[in-house]
Structure 1
Amino acid sequence: MMQSEVTTPEKYLKTLPEDRREVMTAIRNTILENLPKGFEETMNYGMFGYVVPLSLYPEGYHCDPKKPLPFMNLASQKNYIALYHMAIYTDPDLLTWFTGEYAKHVKTKLDMGKSCIRFKKMDQIPYALIGELCRKISPQEWINVYEKQVKRT
């Protein structure tokens, strides 16, 4: 994983080659336009982060309570763009929905890990599907899922 040391999304974009910058900007804009109110964009783990801020969830992330609760991340890797969506990993119904919808939007096979969706063909990014995925879960719904399935007490 290529981790960036930059501290703002704008600086991160400036580090990318022009063709990758255009695609990353388009995905970022799709996320920002569709993410429910309450999530915030940050830089975390060397990539764009979309989090439940500490102001909404003061307990923070169980791995580091000083950090906000992660929800999604977006990164430009060497050979692909990675979109990490934590709820796909924790919600089987959401995963089923997404994998079924993906085939309706993109002709190539879905390349996915547990929470990581990899886009290798820059001309085949399903922006509308990414937007719909963003709208599926509110910050409070993510907190509920996190506390029930992810957080270890």
Structure 2
Amino acid sequence: MTEIGGEELDSTLAIAKSLEQRVLDKIDAFNARNFDPSSPIFYLKHPQWRVEMPAALSRNELTLSELLAAFQRFIAHCPRYHLRATSFNSTVDVSEGVADVFVDVEASGTWKGIVQRHVTLHYFKRFKGDWLHTAQCTINGVDLEMPNAA
């Protein structure tokens, strides 16, 4: 996939850092409650983007608009809800044009004094030179259907 010390490795690391920053920008936009279509939440999303939340919802897969509507209902009950990325582990395959960004996340503001840990895996694919966010899987986390006031 890459050669140590080679130019391709530098490119792979730069792509990984760029995709990780895009995930951080999305988290910052969420924390700022910036759900405007011009926010980073919508930046370079594949039109068929989906999120899987197998441990959190009765429905396993949501579109972006469904996810944002669920989060808006949730934060109406838990206005202090906040996300913080604690670590990243990214894999980029330049030749295949695919990348995964694994993120450890802490969520606070659901229950007073409790921090929930969950992980998200963000999938990216290169289309015509752009790395589009194609899907996301969130494991554990919060049940958006059953909010508890902090």
Scaled by the length of structure 2, the TM-score of the pair is 0.33
Structure (1/2) with the larger strand percentage? 2
| Structure exhibiting the larger radius of gyration computed from Cα positions | 2
Structure (1/2) with the larger helix percentage? 1
